Amino acid sequence: MIETAVILAAGKGTRFGEMTILRPKGFIPVNGTPMVIRSIHQLIKSGIKRIVIGTGYHKEQYEALKQIYPQVECCFSEHFADTNSMWTLANCAKQIGGDDFLLLESDLIYERRAITALLESKYTDVLLAAPETKFQDQYFVEFDGQGHLTKCSTNRSELTVCGEFVGIHKISSRFYTALCDYYEPIKHQYPKLGYEFALLHIAVTLYPLQVLKLKDLKWYEIDDEKDLKYAEELFS
């Protein structure tokens, strides 16, 4: 049974402009509640006992959460300004240890069944997908007849679109070890590699990554003020 979650939260969230001068993107409120707090509550309600947050920008605000939520641990990436999500994820290796875990991005709002559906899946490595929802910055996925991830891209012309990448996954210790082993020798050459590209590489070369598509899932990724306005209406 999975009892660990990892939230990637090191980025600056520059597309929010002045809204992220004094706080990281995960602390932007959606209808009054910061996105990261929403995720913490959803995870705890779903039985998660450890929540490792990969931090960077304004790390002290995430560190303060440990005083409120004993489940929270933080792992600071000192190179956050010059790296991307795969660096942050690999940097959490010591705290993740040998656990299987749920992997989430910090800028998401979603129904709790996004979490419970992954936990209940019989597969050990699962990428959550949904029908297309975003009007901008969409990340598309393609999977084969067995439901295994075969392609992902922001350019829909590069694949047969089967759904949209949500940014929540179930990852086994075996898969995570392969991710880190793949990234370690190239991390200084590709410090800004997004973790999704590493996921795809392992999925097509080593271990299949099952795509779980929830057709009527209510969720949204919030990257800027336009997204925020839409998400607040969606979850009002």
Q: What is the pLDDT of residue 138?
A: 83
Residue 135's pLDDT band (cuts 50, 70, 90): low
DSSP character string of 195-211: HHHHHHHHHHHTS--EE
Which pTM does this prediction carry?
A: 0.97
Handedness of CA 76, 78, 84, 86 (dihedral sign): negative
Please check whether residue 114 is in contact with residue 214, taking contact to mean a CB–CB distance below 8 angstroms: yes
- The residue among 200, 193, 150 whose CA lies nearest residue 175 is 200
Domains of the chain: 4-234 (3.90.550.10)
* Angle in degrees, 0-180, between the axes of helices 173-183 and 195-205, rounded to the nearest 10: 110
pLDDT digits (tens, 9 = 90+) for 84-120: 999 999 999 999 999 999 999 999 999 999 999 999 9
Q: Which residues pair with 79 in a beta bridge?
A: none
pLDDT in tens, 169-209: 999 999 999 999 999 999 999 999 999 999 999 999 999 99
For the chain, the distance separating the N- and C-terminal CA atoms, rounded to the nearest angstrom, is 33
Calculate mean pLDDT across residues 115-133: 95
pLDDT tens digit sequence for 45-69: 999 999 999 999 999 999 999 999 9
